[in-house]
Amino acid sequence: MSNYSEMSKKYNLHSWSVQGSLSPMVISKAEGIYFWDEDGNKYYDMSAQLVNSNLGHGNKALVEAI
């Protein structure tokens, strides 16, 4: 487990999990509907829950509007 994962466990509240046994994934990159972990594995982001946005990662139109 990387240092980022350990810091995440220490400083963040991860909803819907038991904190002690949690092993959070470290995300190194996100673009559009995809994200990559620290090992370079690519995932399709299908999350649209309480703490997530369904607008995509790095949406250029949204970034420019902000």
Identify the pLDDT of residue 51. Answer: 61
pLDDT score of 34 more than 80:
yes
Amino acid 45 reads D
Distance CA 34, CA 45 (A): 5
- Percentage of residues in the chain having pLDDT higher than 70: 82
Nearest to 46 by CA among 36, 38, 56: 56
Distance CA 27, CA 35 (A): 7
Identify the pLDDT of residue 6. Answer: 85
Cα separations (Å) of 31 from 7, 28, 57?
Answer: 24, 11, 5
From the CA atom positions of the chain, what is the Rg in Å?
Answer: 14
Identify the pLDDT of residue 53. Answer: 67
